[in-house]
């Protein structure tokens, strides 16, 4: 059984704590299913948030961007906050006040470490690409030395953080239950469409063609 996420004063669940969890397996499942992370950090005393692709390798998340990105450079060796969210449904209540959303989210805190080791850096690239599409690195051209030099890779340990999940319907006031207003949940799912082949694509062997829908990822993607 894996160790839970570290519970600290920064990760203490203060509002609707029963929706929260420090279960590492739950957090990893959310991280693995989502595509986009929002990374918060401070540059010149001002908070910044960047949407970024990422990849998980065991108890580590890798982030990457151009070496010339001042915000990423400022994050290396600094405290960051990484937020990952899956939106599962719109919760419509009888009153405007009680509208909500069903979601699964993870918030991670820690120091982003710069990755300079060439082997780990190359591994991080593969992890991020295979997170976008599982198995993609088996057919795509490998990252070359020039691309490695011009890309900054950051590593964040999945240690201090928490997950939070909302499920179920609206929580209306008892006085509103008889109101003639539709209430319930509109489920939301992220599903891949039909692949649109690059117009410059040359003929390739049939085994490398992506004729079928994108392979399913864990969770709600199908």
Q: Which residue has the tokens 């593969």?
A: 126
DSSP state of 179: S
Strands (E) across the chain are located at 20-21, 37-43, 46-52, 55-57, 60-66, 79-92, 100-111, 113-114, 151-157, 160-166, 184-187
Any domain includes 52:
yes
Any domain includes 220:
no
Any domain includes 197:
no
Residue pLDDT, tens place only, 36-67 = 999 999 888 899 999 999 999 999 999 998 88
CATH number at residue 54: 2.30.110.10
CA distances from 164 to 80, 85, 114, 167 (A): 19, 9, 28, 10
Any domain includes 43:
yes
Which range marks the domain in which residue 131 is found? 17-88+102-172
Instruction: State the average pLDDT over residues 6-28.
Output: 88
Any domain includes 12:
no
Q: Range with the lowest mean pLDDT among 120-124, 187-191, 210-214?
A: 210-214
Q: What is the pTM of this model?
A: 0.88
Any domain includes 189:
no
159, pLDDT greater than 80: yes
Any domain includes 163:
yes
Any domain includes 157:
yes
How many domains are there within the chain? 1
Residue pLDDT, tens place only, 87-112 = 999 999 999 999 999 999 999 999 99
pLDDT of residue 89: 97
Half-sphere exposure of 128 (CA within 13 A, CB side): 22
């Amino acid at each position: 059984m894996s160790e839970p996420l570290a519970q600290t004063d920064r990760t203490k669940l203060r509002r609707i704590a029963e929706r929260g969890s420090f279960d590492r397996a739950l957090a990893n499942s959310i991280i693995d299913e989502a595509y986009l992370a929002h990374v918060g950090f401070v540059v010149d005393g001002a908070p910044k948030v960047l949407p970024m692709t990422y990849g998980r390798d065991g108890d580590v998340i890798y982030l990457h961007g151009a070496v010339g990105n001042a915000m990423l450079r400022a994050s290396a060796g600094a405290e960051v906050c990484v937020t990952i969210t899956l939106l599962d449904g719109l919760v419509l209540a009888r009153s405007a006040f009680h509208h909500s959303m069903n979601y699964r989210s993870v918030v991670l805190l820690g120091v982003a470490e710069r990755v300079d080791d060439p082997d780990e850096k190359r591994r991080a690239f593969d992890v991020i690409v295979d997170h976008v599409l599982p198995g993609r690195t088996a057919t795509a051209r490998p990252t070359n030395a020039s691309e490695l030099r011009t890309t900054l890779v950051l590593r964040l340990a999945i240690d201090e953080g928490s997950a939070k999940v909302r499920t179920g319907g609206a929580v209306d006031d008892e006085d509103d239950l008889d109101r003639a207003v539709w209430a319930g949940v509109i489920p939301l799912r992220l599903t891949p469409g039909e692949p649109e082949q690059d117009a410059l694509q040359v003929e390739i062997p049939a085994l490398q063609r992506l004729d079928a829908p994108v392979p399913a990822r864990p969770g709600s993607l199908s």
